[in-house]
Amino acid sequence: MTMENPKTLLEAWRAIEPQQIRTGRIKTSPDYQPRNERIAPFRDRSRLQEQSRSHIEDLQDKLEGGNEMEPVLVANIDGKLWLIDGHHRLQAYKRTRRETTPARIRKSSPREALIASKAANCDGVKLPMHTEQRREAAWQYMAMATHQGRFRLPKDMSSRALARIFSTSKDTIQRMRRKLEQVKTEDYSSQACDPGTGWPMWKYVKGNASRDAFADVPEDIRERRQTERLAASLAKQMDKAGKTRFLNALKMLEDEAVQEAAERLREALSDEPEEDC
């Protein structure tokens, strides 16, 4: 039977006796990784990437110094081992060429694995998640617990309890509860939905935000990813230069581009033969 309460589920998982598992057997999937950098604003993505790299290096140094780490959490789903919590630790074990990784393994369903993965990083014990990532984890859990808004949340999952589990505000949780019944998945592109649950991400549902995650971005996935990386890079430059100077520079580029386009238009018009009256 699937445990629906994420706190109870994680407590049970973390109480399992750890065992050494061959590192190469542990699989990873975006379905079970709540640290999706695309959830965060563009201006924060470079910082999150740097924090992630630095954290892995610190863990690697710890292992090379002869220290051990907390076992990772792994779900045994139909005989395959999926990482639920400990992505940075697993990377550190791989970098140090450890043949085995200590893991707490629980025989689980995909649903139970999703529930655990959403809450595992929100307790503040590990590398802190971005505010938007914690909100997204709470939102996706609520969608699963209510079967996408068709049922009420479990009795033991009050707004206050959820706020504590996911380290977000009670007001945000209450706002999410009101939104659940209003969401229609067909109004959102697949790129605007969580890869594990298929439910639209909170950043595209809240307020009157665009219902399509990439309404103004070309449909080609590679082009879309490149555009996102460019936006993140520009946001980093804006932080360095200051918002005013950065926007002034963009205005200069825009004016130049408009001027060049106007010149090309004038040239094209001047080359057209005049019609006889």
What is the predicted pLDDT for the residue at 274?
54
- Largest distance between two CA atoms of the chain: 93
Give the Cβ contact number of residue 170 at 10 Å. Answer: 14
What is the predicted pLDDT for the residue at 100?
96
Nearest to 118 by CA among 7, 245, 251: 7
Report helix, strand or coil for 22. Answer: strand
C-beta of residue 149 within 8 angstroms of C-beta of residue 180: yes
Integer Cα distance of 265 and 257 in angstroms? 12
272: left (phi over 0), alpha (psi -120 to 50) or beta: beta
What letter represents residue 250's amino acid?
A: L
Give the model confidence (pLDDT) of 134-183 as tens digits. 999 999 999 999 998 888 888 888 999 999 999 999 999 999 999 998 99
pTM: 0.74
> Which residues make beta-bridge pairs with 73?
85, 104
Distance from first CA to last CA of the chain, Å, rounded?
A: 85
What is the predicted pLDDT for the residue at 213?
41
What letter represents residue 223's amino acid?
A: E
Which helix (H) or strand (E) element contains residue 114?
helix 110-119
State how far the alpha carbon of 81 is from the alpha carbons of 29, 84, 260, in Å: 11, 9, 57
The sign of the torsion formed by the CA atoms of 138, 12, 113, 101 equals positive
Token readout for 36 is 């999706």
What is the predicted pLDDT for the residue at 277?
46
**Could you tell me which residues come within 8 angstroms of residue 48 by beta carbon, excluding any fewer than 6 positions away?**
35, 37, 40, 130
Positions in the chain short of pLDDT 50: 208-218, 277
State how far the alpha carbon of 127 is from the alpha carbons of 37, 41, 43, 49, 246, in Å: 14, 18, 19, 12, 31
Integer Cα distance of 206 and 193 in angstroms? 13
Give the Cβ contact number of residue 239 at 10 Å. Answer: 14
State how far the alpha carbon of 188 is from the alpha carbons of 26, 58, 137, 185, 210, in Å: 32, 39, 18, 6, 9
Number of residues that this document lists for the chain: 277
Integer Cα distance of 109 and 106 in angstroms? 10
C-beta of residue 13 within 8 angstroms of C-beta of residue 104: yes
